[in-house]
Amino acid sequence: MTNNNLTNSSLIQLSQMLANKAISSVELTQTFLNRIDALNPAINAYIALDKDKTLAQAKAADVRIAAGNAEPLTGIPIAQKDIFCAKDWQTTCGSKMLANFIAPYDAHVITQFNAAGAVNLGKTNMDEFAMGSSNETSYFGGVKNPWDFDRVPGGSSGGSAAAVAARLCAAATGTDTGGSIRQPASLCGFTGLKPTYGVVSRYGMIAFASSLDQAGPMAKSAEDCALMMNVMAGFDERDSTSLNRVKEDYTRELAKPSSSQPLAGLKIGLPKEYFAQGLDDNVATVIEAAIAEYKKLGAEIVEISLPNTGLSIPVYYVLAPAEASSNLSRYDGVRYGHRAAEYTDLMDMYNKSRAEGFGAEVKRRILIGTYVLSAGYYDAYYLKAQQIRRLIAQDFVEAFKTCDVIMGPAAPSTAFKAGEKVDDPVAMYLQDIYTISTNLAGLPGMSVPAGFSHGLPVGLQIIGNYFDEARMLNVAHQYQQVTDWHTQMPELTMPKDIA
């Protein structure tokens, strides 16, 4: 098998190859490391690499496989978004504020992957403190979209997105506060899932907006995401928002016998608000074609309404900055994080350290958040936004009375050019118009590759009811059984001895 075929294999295929001794974890890991060496300088997907640590994990995985103690992801190289603390790894959250921070402990997600025997390939680039939709706010520079280096990969999980799309990892982790898994999944052409809020622990995940942040898998297919969810999900008493639920097997629906109409009886809701003004015509055409495919699979289409969708952006950009203002107040130059080299007194140190350590977008959101939480404005902005948030959640409750899943575009357009929206924050914020409402409601959502527009990927969004990830994954899986969009990969020039 060529290296190109190897890096394009599914997680199950890689797991079987490792179990059958067709390849070792060290060999598989080195294949990805070689690919990273060749392509990462141009793509900038990774912030931190430590080959010694990575290969040590791969060697340990090979021992575990030889002893017969392997799990499905044992020996599989996974990229970790640099928002997760990983012991003895540089953990920056894409910010100068944490540029020299070495995490002293593992996030729960990292602990889960370590326990499963997975290999940490490295830490991926991201928008600073997860604030952005294009991965252009990173202190370490923007990430290139592997389909077109002049375009953005989406954000904030842009590094993980580019790594998955360019096959610089077998799969990756991301986080989704307002669409930061699903929007880059759409722009880069792979499958990304945001679980129900509380299903994956936030312990050790550097906070942006605590009531919205949720970790999830980013991989080539729904089947791969299901395998990753089996590792990532689980109760963690260290996270007060972690849900104590019976452990699920997220692959359980995938094993059901298929037929010519495997989704017969499934009702798909199409919100009229998702197909209104603002949606690119070519993206709409791709989404409509995907819906037509679902009809062939036996699904029934139901028109629904989510009337408060248009309010999700203003609500989000009151609530998320408010929580960010609180969460980022800990970075004061005293205990850890960037400290200014010269200052006159304590207040001057605070001011200079934060001015130097935070980027423009982070400062903008801190200022907005502090404003809406200030005396005299709390009731007018923050409290009102919380009330509308409840109405947005209620829209979904009503919608799910008539349908099983909701579908529509994951993003209003394909990947836009780098620099195109940097000076227009509102235009950037509108990139998340179709994804933010699920975070506000705490619902699960995912993006599935559905086709191309002018050579750029388009993602179909699938939204499920609370804790309905297994059904969503099967709905995506059945579509991927009859289409090959998820197997498409960008043409990237590789040295002959690596390709």
Catalytic residue numbers?
A: 81, 156, 180
b/e 394-410 (16+ beta carbons within 10 angstroms → b)? ebbeebbeebbbbbbbb
* CA 447/CA 186 separation, integer angstroms: 6
Cα 137–88–77 angle (5° rounding)?
75
In the structure encoding, which two tokens stand for residue 341, read together?
């080299």
Residue 188: strand, helix, or coil = helix
b/e 281-295 (16+ beta carbons within 10 angstroms → b)? ebbbebbeebbebbe
Residue reference for tokens 């940097």: 422
In the structure encoding, which two tokens stand for residue 94, read together?
């894409």
* CA 449/CA 459 separation, integer angstroms: 5
Write out the DSSP string of 385-405: HHHHHHHHHHHHHHHTTT-SE
Residue reference for tokens 């002293």: 104
Burial group, residue 18, by CB count within 10 angstroms (0-12, 13-18, 19+): buried
Q: In one letter, which amino acid is 225?
A: C
Q: In one letter, which amino acid is 43?
A: I
Please count the residues of the chain. Answer: 499
* CA 365/CA 374 separation, integer angstroms: 14
* CA 212/CA 438 separation, integer angstroms: 9
